[in-house]
Structure 1
Amino acid sequence: MPLNRRDFVARSAAVAAGTAVVAGATSSTAEAASPESQQAGKKPKPNPTYSFTVLGTTDVHGNCVNWDYFNNAEYDDSAHNDVGLAKISTMVNGLREEIGHDRTLLIDAGDIIQGTQLSYYYARVDPITVGGRKAPKHPMALAMNHIRYDAAALGNHEFNYGIPTLRAFERQCDFPLLAANALDPKTNKPAFRPFIIKRICVPNLPDIKVGIVGLTNPGIAIWDKANVSGQMTFGGIAEQAAIYVPKARSAGADVVVVSSHTGIDEASSYGDQIPWPEDAAAEMAQQVPGIDAILVGHTHKEVDQRLVTNTATGKTVVLSEPLKWGMRLTRFDFEVELVHGGWEVTSCVASVLNSNTYEEDPKVVKLLADEHAAVVAYVNQVIGTSTVDLNIARAPFQDVPIVDLIGKVMVDAVTTGLVGTSYASLPVLAQAAPFNRTADIPAGTVRLRDAAGLYIYENTLAAMVLTGAQLVDYIEFSANYYNTLAVGAPIVESALTNANNLPDYNYDEVYGLSYDIDVSQPAGSRILNVTYNGAALDPTQQFVLAINNYRANGGGNFPHVATATQIWTSSDEIRNTMIAWVKAKGEINPADFAASPGWRLVRAGVPLY
């Protein structure tokens, strides 16, 4: 469980009470005199020891203040978490006061500049790439500079807006962005700094040199192929760590902390499309000597502490992941000892602190007040009306009109895009998923934030040609999302979905087809009664599938997509296409797009709902 402020203050006091300060360092009390020295009446002089702390965030995703731009209210969820760097700032300030500013470092493990309408606004609406020196400052750079981050690894979502936007953000940061495995294809050398060394000053003794190695996710090559192809390649996490951890040590690092945008040991969402695993922190800890701790990211999970033994050295590597969005802060507490003129780690303990017990730092709130106000005005502009309330809550279990709206918008956009081409006569279907379980488009006035809350990712649109048989394989693969429900067993919806930890965004329905998903059958044998336009689906018929770029590039490892013929793309986000569609129509009416009969869940042929 995460520690609150009271817990970690008590913990710090306990640590302090167990040490004796000598000339700015501590003298080890655990080292007993040898029998020989006792006989001689002498005690060996203990080696100096010292302590310092590395704090870490990850997957902040554009959350600067505790605000939900989609709901136009303070953020809240079922666990009553809070979000944002303003709260992280308060936590960090308190810890620096408690531990000492000169013995505290702060790092991040990536996914910084995408995820909220605040971050989107300064990438697309008032972009930081336009205006030269007069370009707006990115709110995340403003906040992180104010909090005084020491370094940040790049996440895969840093590349969503293209490399020019990422480079503009990098120029605005007072701290380095690290990625030892983001490589220049011409030189095969890192396109960003692979590591830095920070010094912890110890009075009257040598500085402690802390190496911070940054690594990003190799899946970028798939997920953001259009933005990075030919401009950057991405090596394996453990493989590049094996190169740059020794380099950091050779450059003088006494301690090495890796900040890596990767999970601990989960299966890769892209299968074997690239040779490097997506979640490789445990592998890196096991295989690469010289790492003391790893700040983990990417999977949006809370891991207080995970211990992994390095197979080469037998030493323990400490891993920690602080959830997401500024909800948590990881704390690595290091104890080091001066041995033969160099500092060696004797202890490292990790914990995760919860931000929801803290107030926002008023300085951060004030610093971003203008940017926040501009985005609130932007998301609250009226774009149309709706004849009924459209809610997504039932989307994992039933075909609901609000997800059909996504499909309809994508079908219309692709149909228009194919006019005049040789593919114009093919029927167009669409892939859509329940991206946000809290999405709701109210009856009456519809604002931009209502549509934006339905499609929360910066995906763009593509069109692929697939056959009927390939589409059946596609929806069969998607049905892996469900756990098997035995005949006669009670329906427990909380246990029905997200089988094998599959996220909601990897559950696709295909808008334009009707089919049953029999959840009493094992995965791979669930799709029945597939029809198109009221007739049984012809397995040889060709269709155009409107699909987002993440899926088109192989994200989720859906069958046939990566090798299908791509016939059209758009550089505009699907979210913006949806907003424009609503503005053009003026009114959202499910009669214009709701699928009938669509898809349904069945058990042994009997509908669940």
Structure 2
Amino acid sequence: MSESPVRRRAVLAGTAAGVLAAAGFRPAAAQADTRGVNRPFTLTVMGTTDLHGNVFNWDYFANKEFDDSGHNDIGLAKISSLVSAVREQHGAHRTLLLDAGDTIQGTPLAYYYAKVEPITRRRVHPMAAAMNAIGYDAAALGNHEFNYGIPLLRTFEQQLRFPLLGANAVDERTGQPAFKPYVVKTVWRTGTAPLRVGILGLTNPGIAIWDKANVQGKMTFPGLVEQAKVWVPRMRRAGVDLVVVSAHSGADTSSSYGDALPYPENAATLVAEQVPGIDAILVGHAHVEIPQRLVANKTTGKQVLITEPLFWGKRLSLMDFDLEWAPRGGWTLKASRSQVLNSNTVAEDPKIVRLLTADHAKVVTYVNSKVGTNKVAMSAATARYEDTAALDFINFVQANEVKKALPANTLPILALAAPFNRAAAIPAGEVTIRDVAGLYIFDNTLLAVTLTGAQLKDYLEYSARYFKQVTSAGPFPADSVTNAPTTTAPNGTPDYNYDIAFGLDAPLTYDVDIAKGAGERITGLSYGGVPVDPAQQFVVAVNNYRQSGGGGFPHISTAPVLVNQQQEIRQLMIDWVKEAGEIDAALFARGDWRLTAGGVGVVVQ
């Protein structure tokens, strides 16, 4: 958790004002603190989201301080420094701190304390310890909170000193919220009535699809708009003066799961437009930065403030609410605004460092432990646009595990995998857990289904929407051909929604002709050198996210399931290396698919 001199100087400058100025803080015009009626008061509500198990500014897969192309920093230790500065500058009694979900999954740290050394009532999750120490007031449930099952989530919830909110996480047996729907925080101000701030938590309906194995028969997840319409009026009738929603749902309306659910995945703007009585929404889930957006409610015309800080603790959102109090009228919101502060301008809070260094060190030791060797270096840097041994390795392990689970199977076995991590690489020579885990950064589990040849082609055509259409074979920069916008991904198809197919005992070969329009790009689809018959059947290894409908791929969620052993694919890869002792790409790397334009191989630079 080392700090560069530039980052350290921002904190050592001394004052909270200096720290905030370095982080990008823009102060509003000062208000006179008058006596008597119409007394003004500014409440500051801070927000984080999509922390994904990041406590320190550390990349466990690279085994070094985190950095990216934007030179962002990450982690709650950084956030803690910003929060302390805001509280010092504004007055702690004038601030609240919220989170919008996806807290306990996403790093080896999170995995370790869920699977290797699971948390208990006495063994506190590092994220809970950090958030308690920082002093959060409330947090919404994210969809990834359910990845490790409800029992572990409940243990995490019990460790928190603040409520975990989810108005639309409903107990299937009782029909009531399975988590606290909202909390009221009272802010005291001398000479006025207390300001009552209602915080409503909403999570993502996609949980019903993505974590079906963990929640089916136990919880349901209605739409955000539908549940907000129930709870916001109740909060107002209970005497709440200000309503802030913490929503694990993106601002720009879309759904990765298509029409598999009647409720949109990203619905924060719809909530602002369709539910009267909301003053602001802290947005999560979409992993984009929204410093400030104002959305008009269609019923009242009132402007609703929306903000989303960048994920992993890269940013802290600040929402300022200017309120006035009068003896007869009570509290009235006069204006609101928001901005984001950059965590790369501050040092990690020594308090958080002292608290969690031992937990962090234990995970660093774990991920750097040797599991085997590798004959030839493999990289995923180009896996999204060309066949690579790195992705073939994932598919090989998946398909091989399915083969072991189906000893009497006579159908060809295929596997599907996406290029999750462009930075992933397994070096030649000694291989550690972090090397293997870097190829598969999600905690997905393995399933196997049956698909026909026709369904397989439909699936690959849908996957090939990932590419932008071209008029020649190039050469092209990678960004000119990948991450195409679609109706379900208007900001560009993410890498994790591009699946690559692989044949275990014989090659599955095909071209992706991106000179053609989406839906007619898969050419020469063959298995073992023979064109695939539309009626032919295959066993297909796939992860639980995709099989449950994630990404909206055709046929896969309704296909007959043959294997579902709840085995994490990442751990299967680690176990395979431990057992084999050596990774030899000659076992699985063949170069089975390619990008073409009119039959000519596309050159991507």
1:1-12 superposed matches below 5 A: 5-6=20-21, 11-12=26-27
AA partner of residue 361 (structure 1):
D
In structure 1, C-alpha distance between the alignment counterparts of 2:375 and 2:475, rounded to whole Å: 36
1:524 aligns with 2:519: yes
The Cα of 1:490 is off from its aligned counterpart by 5.3
In structure 2, C-alpha distance between the alignment counterparts of 1:348 and 1:68, rounded to whole Å: 36
Match of 2:532 in 1: 537
Unaligned runs of 5+ in 2: 1-17, 486-491
Range with greater deviation from structure 2 (558-567 or 107-116): 558-567
Match of 2:128 in 1: 141
Match of 2:185 in 1: 198
1:604 aligns with 2:598: yes
The Cα of 1:5 is off from its aligned counterpart by 2.4
Q: Check whether the contact 1:106–1:151 (CA below 8 A) recurs between aligned residues.
A: yes
Match of 1:359 in 2: 347
- Identical counterparts, % of pairs: 55
The Cα of 1:4 is off from its aligned counterpart by 7.7
457, 482, 490: which one aligns with 1:497: 482
The Cα of 1:224 is off from its aligned counterpart by 0.1
Secondary structure, in 3 states, of the residue corresponding to 2:295?
Answer: strand
Secondary structure, in 3 states, of the residue corresponding to 1:52?
Answer: strand
Q: Deviations over 1:130-151 (max 9, x none)?
A: xxx44x1100000000000000
1:244-263 superposed matches below 5 A: 244-263=231-250
1:349-428 superposed matches below 5 A: 349-420=337-408, 424-428=409-413
1:310 aligns with 2:297: yes
The Cα of 1:427 is off from its aligned counterpart by 1.1
Q: Deviations over 1:361-402 (max 9, x none)?
A: 011011001110110111011000011110111111100000
Match of 1:571 in 2: 566
Secondary structure, in 3 states, of the residue corresponding to 2:578?
Answer: helix
Q: Check whether the contact 2:317–2:339 (CA below 8 A) recurs between aligned residues.
A: yes
In structure 2, C-alpha distance between the alignment counterparts of 1:355 and 1:287, rounded to whole Å: 34
Match of 2:584 in 1: 589
The Cα of 1:576 is off from its aligned counterpart by 0.3
In structure 2, C-alpha distance between the alignment counterparts of 1:490 and 1:307, rounded to whole Å: 42
AA partner of residue 173 (structure 1):
L
The Cα of 1:419 is off from its aligned counterpart by 1.5
In structure 1, C-alpha distance between the alignment counterparts of 2:24 and 2:187, rounded to whole Å: 22
Match of 1:435 in 2: 420
**Larger-Rg structure:** 1
1:59-78 superposed matches below 5 A: 59-78=50-69
Match of 1:93 in 2: 84
Give the alignment's TM-score, normalised by structure 2. 0.93
Match of 1:337 in 2: 324
Q: Check whether the contact 1:83–1:355 (CA below 8 A) recurs between aligned residues.
A: yes
1:15 aligns with 2:6: no
Match of 1:214 in 2: 201
Secondary structure, in 3 states, of the residue corresponding to 2:269?
Answer: helix
AA partner of residue 6 (structure 1):
A
The Cα of 1:49 is off from its aligned counterpart by 1.5
Q: Check whether the contact 1:63–1:116 (CA below 8 A) recurs between aligned residues.
A: yes
AA partner of residue 48 (structure 1):
R
The Cα of 1:266 is off from its aligned counterpart by 3.4
Q: Deviations over 1:325-350 (max 9, x none)?
A: 00001000110112434212111101
1:450 aligns with 2:435: yes
1:169-248 superposed matches below 5 A: 169-248=156-235
The Cα of 1:571 is off from its aligned counterpart by 1.5
The Cα of 1:204 is off from its aligned counterpart by 1.4
Q: Deviations over 1:492-530 (max 9, x none)?
A: 321211111111011001112210001111111111011
Q: Residue 356 and residue 9 in structure 1: after superposition, are their counterparts in 2 closer, same or farther (change >3 A)?
A: closer
Q: Residue 376 and residue 8 in structure 1: after superposition, are their counterparts in 2 closer, same or farther (change >3 A)?
A: closer
Secondary structure, in 3 states, of the residue corresponding to 2:65?
Answer: coil
AA partner of residue 105 (structure 1):
L
1:47 aligns with 2:47: no
The Cα of 1:9 is off from its aligned counterpart by 8.1
Q: Check whether the contact 2:254–2:267 (CA below 8 A) recurs between aligned residues.
A: no
Q: Deviations over 1:153-195 (max 9, x none)?
A: 0000000000001000000000000000000112211000000
Unaligned runs of 5+ in 1: 24-44
In structure 2, C-alpha distance between the alignment counterparts of 1:370 and 1:419, rounded to whole Å: 45
The Cα of 1:209 is off from its aligned counterpart by 0.6
Secondary structure, in 3 states, of the residue corresponding to 2:243?
Answer: strand
Match of 1:108 in 2: 99
Match of 1:81 in 2: 72
Match of 2:5 in 1: none
In structure 1, C-alpha distance between the alignment counterparts of 2:259 and 2:236, rounded to whole Å: 32
In structure 1, C-alpha distance between the alignment counterparts of 2:66 and 2:285, rounded to whole Å: 21
Q: Deviations over 1:456-481 (max 9, x none)?
A: 00000000000111101110000000
Give the alignment's TM-score, normalised by structure 1. 0.93
In structure 2, C-alpha distance between the alignment counterparts of 1:490 and 1:536, rounded to whole Å: 30
In structure 1, C-alpha distance between the alignment counterparts of 2:473 and 2:497, rounded to whole Å: 28
In structure 1, C-alpha distance between the alignment counterparts of 2:286 and 2:23, rounded to whole Å: 25
Match of 1:40 in 2: none
- Number of residue pairs aligned between Structure 1 and Structure 2: 575
Runs of 4+ in 1 over 4 A off after TM superposition: 7-10
1:562 aligns with 2:547: no
Q: Deviations over 1:292-333 (max 9, x none)?
A: 000000010001111110011110001001010000010001
The Cα of 1:15 is off from its aligned counterpart by 2.7
The Cα of 1:578 is off from its aligned counterpart by 0.3
AA partner of residue 15 (structure 1):
A
